Chain A
Amino acid sequence: MALSVQGLRKSFAGRNVLTGVDFTVSAGEVVAFLGANGSGKSTTLRCVMGITPPDAGSISIDGTPLDSLHSGDLQRARQRMAMIFQKIHLVPRRTALDNVCSGALARIPTIRSLTPLLFPAEVQQEALDCLDRVGLADRAFDRVGRLSGGQQQRVAVARALCQRADVVLADEPVSALDPHAAEHVMALLRELAHTEGLAVAAVLHQPELALRYADRSIGLLQGSMTFDLPSTEVTAKHLDTLYAPDRGVSDRNFAA
Chain B
Amino acid sequence: MTPQALLPTTRREPARPSRVALVRPKKPLRWLTTAAVAAAVVGLHALAIEGTDFKPELLVDGWKGMAAFVADAFPPDLSWERTLKPGLEATLVTLWIGLLGTTLSVPSALLLAALAARNTSPHRLVYQAARAVLSFFRAVPDIVFALIFVTAVGLGPFAGVLALICHNTGVMGKLWAESMEEIDAGPQEALRTAGANRIQQVANATLPMVVPQFVGLLLYRFDVNVRSSLVLGLVGAGGIGLLINQSIKSFRFDSMLTHILIVLVLIIVVDQFSAWIRRRLAA
Contacts and interface: CB of A to CB of B under 8 A. Distances in A.
A110 B199 contact: yes
B25 interface: no
A158 interface: no
A163 B196 CA distance: 10
Contacts of A93: 208-209, 211-212
B193 A102 contact: no
For the side of the interface on A, what is the size category? 20 to 34
Interface string A83-114: 10101111111100000001101101010011
Contacts of B190: 83, 85, 89-90, 156, 159
A180 to B, nearest CB: 24
Nearest to A83: B193
B193 A51 contact: yes
B191 A105 contact: yes
Contacts of A105: 191, 194-197, 200, 204
Given A85-B186, A91-B187, A94-B208, A79 B195 contact: yes
Contact of B209 (A51, A91, A115): A91
A102 B211 CA distance: 18
B277 interface: no
B189 interface: yes
A79 B194 CA distance: 6
Nearest to A156: B190
A169 to B, nearest CB: 9
Contact of B193 (A49, A92, A94): A49
Interface string A106-128: 10101001111000000000000
Identify the interface centre among A49, A91, A106: most chain B CB within 10 Å of its CB: A91
B187 to A, nearest CB: 5
A82 interface: yes
A152 to B, nearest CB: 12
A78 interface: yes
Contacts of A82: 193-194
A162 to B, nearest CB: 9
Contacts of B203: 113-115
A159 B205 CA distance: 13
A108 B205 CA distance: 15
Contacts of B189: 51, 89
A159 B194 contact: yes
B194 A110 contact: no
A91 B196 CA distance: 15
A148 interface: no
B14 to A, nearest CB: 17
A75 interface: yes
Identify the interface centre among A79, A88, A113: most chain B CB within 10 Å of its CB: A113
Contacts of B211: 93
A194 B200 CA distance: 33
Contacts of A91: 187, 204-205, 208-209
Contacts of A76: 195
Contacts of A83: 190, 193
Contacts of B184: 87, 89
Nearest to B199: A110
Interface in A49-72: 49-51
A174 to B, nearest CB: 17
A81 B193 CA distance: 8
Interface in B175-219: 184, 186-187, 189-191, 193-197, 199-200, 203-205, 208-209, 211-212
Nearest to A78: B195
Contacts of A114: 199, 203
Nearest to B195: A106
Interface in A142-166: 156, 159, 163
A93 B183 CA distance: 14
Nearest to A111: B199
B195 A75 contact: yes
B111 to A, nearest CB: 14
Contacts of A89: 184, 186-187, 189-190
Contacts of B187: 89-91
Contact of A103 (B194, B197, B209, B212): B194
Given A49-B193, A85-B186, A113-B200, 15 more contacts: A76-B195, A78-B193, A79-B194, A82-B194, A91-B209, A93-B209, A102-B194, A102-B200, A105-B196, A105-B204, A113-B204, A116-B204, A156-B190, A159-B190, A163-B195
20 contacts: A51-B193, A78-B193, A82-B193, A85-B186, A88-B186, A89-B187, A89-B189, A92-B209, A93-B208, A93-B211, A102-B191, A102-B200, A105-B191, A105-B204, A108-B200, A110-B200, A113-B200, A113-B203, A114-B199, A159-B190
